[in-house]
Amino acid sequence: MEAAVPQAAQAKAGRLAGILFLFVNAAGVFAEVVVRGSLLQGDAMQVAQSVADSERLYRLGIAVDLTMLIGGLVLIWALYVLLGPVHRDLAFLAVLLRTVETAATVAATVASLVAVQLLGTADYLRVFAVGEVQGLSRLARIAFGLGQDVGFIFLGLGSAVFAYLLLRSHYVPRILASWGVVASLLLAAYNLVAIVVPSVKTFVYIALVPMGIYEIGIGLWLVIKGVMLSGTPARAT
């Protein structure tokens, strides 16, 4: 172990991280399933009409995305406070990777905002034909998806480092931390392969489900059980 961080601060950081793991996942499911899942169905014309008709809901999804990103940044900080004493350099590497993930996702969220802005009634949009506007909006939504894919690569890598530090620290059950390492690397590898072979995007849940199980599992553990800071490996009961 390295450095001297009060155990009380680590315990609080662990509990906060657990809450944020759950919050970030809940927000992500709402934005992706409830909002985009209900609106982004059909061809470009149908999607454009759905978004235009439910603009408030679509913008709510964007607001939830931004709230999720803010929560994610606080989560990164909490994990650094918790795991910095285990290995300061690796914890900092994880922070860097997760920060790149956040930056990519912020850029993607801006693209999503552009997509709905293009479907508005502003005067400057009158120079475009309806089909052109719908095409540009679709292109912006595609950019959003690509930004998410790039973000997932760095999310997976950063999460793998944090999960490895949890495994090394014995703060949580080894099986949970080990699952986190595997699920995180799978997420990163899958999205990297998807850039080269876009057709594999059909099987996106192969990577997302294991990661979701890990993040919800570790979130529940940290909230309910907390971290074991006595040096004794934590064991599930």
Residues 17-46: tens digit of each pLDDT = 999 999 999 999 999 999 998 888 877 788
Residues 56-76: tens digit of each pLDDT = 999 999 999 999 999 999 999
Q: How far apart are CA 214 and CA 195, in angstroms?
A: 24
In this prediction, residue 122 carries a pLDDT of: 73
Residue 26 or residue 54, greater confidence: 26
Confidence (pTM):
0.89
- Strands, E, within 118-232: which ranges? none
Residue 182 near residue 160, CB atoms below 8 Å: no
71-85, 160-174, 218-232, range with the lowest pLDDT: 218-232
Residues 177-235: tens digit of each pLDDT = 999 999 999 999 999 999 999 988 888 889 999 999 999 999 999 999 999 886 544 44
Q: Name the residue type at position 90.
A: L
Residue 3 or residue 32, greater confidence: 32
Q: Retrieve residue 225's tokens.
A: 């059980």
Put residue 4 in one of left, alpha, beta given phi > 0 → left and psi -120 to 50 → alpha.
Answer: beta
In this prediction, residue 4 carries a pLDDT of: 54
Residues 87-128: tens digit of each pLDDT = 999 999 999 999 999 999 999 999 999 998 888 767 777 777
- Sign of the CA dihedral 138, 28, 216, 1? positive
